[in-house]
Amino acid sequence: MSTLENKIAIVTGASRGLGEGIAVELAARGATVVCADLHSAEDTATTLQSAGSPKSSSAKVDVSSAASVDELVGSTVETHGRLDIMVNNAGIYTYGAIADVTDDDFRRTMDVNIGGVFNGSRAAARVMKEQKSGRIINTASQLGKLARPNEGVYSASKAAVILMTQALGLELAPYNITVNAICPGCMHTEMMEKSFAEIAQSEGITLEQKLQDYLDAKIPTGRFGTLEDVGRMVAWLASDEASFTTGSALNLTGGEQVFF
């Protein structure tokens, strides 16, 4: 297992789901984690502290606001003296045909999903360039590589994350900073179960049957992704073992994208 001892990390969107899983794994490997979210991430921070990461903490942030993100990064550096790992994970999901998506929904999706990555990466890069070291990891999606009906706005925002990751990887390589994106597929979270339950109800079948049908049709490995899967990939990208990996967008899908 790669170690992250004495590393200082920020994870946005850390109150639940993928962000919580990432924060837990980074702390388990020795990092001190600032768990940041628009809503309270105190529960996540408490979990990390109880598990042996006493300096981990929570913070409020609106990733769509450059001032809010700059304040988060600045306070982290003021408290801990440095920033080693920036995980731009916060995001929102928008569903609907492009012709039907409202202006407000479009702008909000872009402000959070790509604006948040821009704000977080820029603030982190300014610190990491001075340090001559760092890791920036962005949460994209398999839908940033392949589109599906009614998910075009979300897909476009995540495709932008992938291309910004590539550009940042090139720009920051001379400073010993790597920049990578993860592209999760269907991960087993509360949000996913809620979505599948609604679809199952509309089709007149049970949630369990809908989940199994999806696995059989879409995922060759025969299971959904877990928070632990996501956490382990991010922890590896944050480690010294991944020092030669930059500008990449790594699939975490169980092979699902092959069946689109």
Nearest CA among 12, 21, 3 for reference residue 228: 21
Structure tokens at 142: 């398999």
Residues identified as active-site = 154
Structure tokens at 54: 């006493």
Nearest CA among 15, 13, 33 for reference residue 117: 13
Structure tokens at 216: 């059989």
Contacts of 79 (CB under 8 A, 6+ apart): none
Q: Which residue has the tokens 């109150």?
A: 15
Q: In the chain, count of helices (H) and strands (E)?
A: 9, 7
Q: Which residue has the tokens 């768990």?
A: 35
Contacts of 107 (CB under 8 A, 6+ apart): none
Torsional sign, CA 182, 184, 188, 193: positive
